[in-house]
Amino acid sequence: MSERITRDEVAHVGQLARLVITDDELTMFTEQLGAVLDTASDLAALDLSGVEPMAQPCALTNVTRPDVIEPSLGRDEVLAMAPAAQDGRFRVPPALGEA
């Protein structure tokens, strides 16, 4: 098995990504992510000093439009597709404290 990423690191990454990972899944994902990171380590051998990073291939930057108000999606139509809504807002469980 690869040593590129540990079981604990995978568990931590799962938490960061808001995913609940079972013990069996932890074993599977640790092995699989390690295999991908092994391939990624091919890049380590490359001398990339002086090579600029590319975030995206499009030469456009800071695209703006005139600040004109245009019709947006209907509130009721959008809320109709939400898992829960109330009083014209998205409804969620408590964000703070005990339920």
Q: How many CB atoms lie within 10 A of CB 32?
A: 13
Nearer to other proteins by C-beta: 74 or 88?
A: 74
- Least distance (Å) from other proteins to the CB of residue 11? 10
Using CA atoms, how far apart are residues 85 and 41, in angstroms rounded to an integer?
A: 47
Using CA atoms, how far apart are residues 70 and 47, in angstroms rounded to an integer?
A: 50
- Least distance (Å) from other proteins to the CB of residue 88? 14
Q: Is 17 in the site for other proteins (CB under 8 A)?
A: yes
Q: Is 35 in the site for other proteins (CB under 8 A)?
A: yes
Q: Is 1 in the site for other proteins (CB under 8 A)?
A: no
Map tokens 């295999």 to a residue.
35
Strand duo 85-86 + 89-90: pairing: antiparallel
Q: List contacts with other proteins (CB under 8 A).
A: 5, 9-10, 13-14, 16-21, 25, 28-29, 32-33, 35-37, 39-40, 42-44, 46, 48, 51-58, 60, 63, 65, 73-74, 77-78, 81-84, 90, 92-96, 98-99
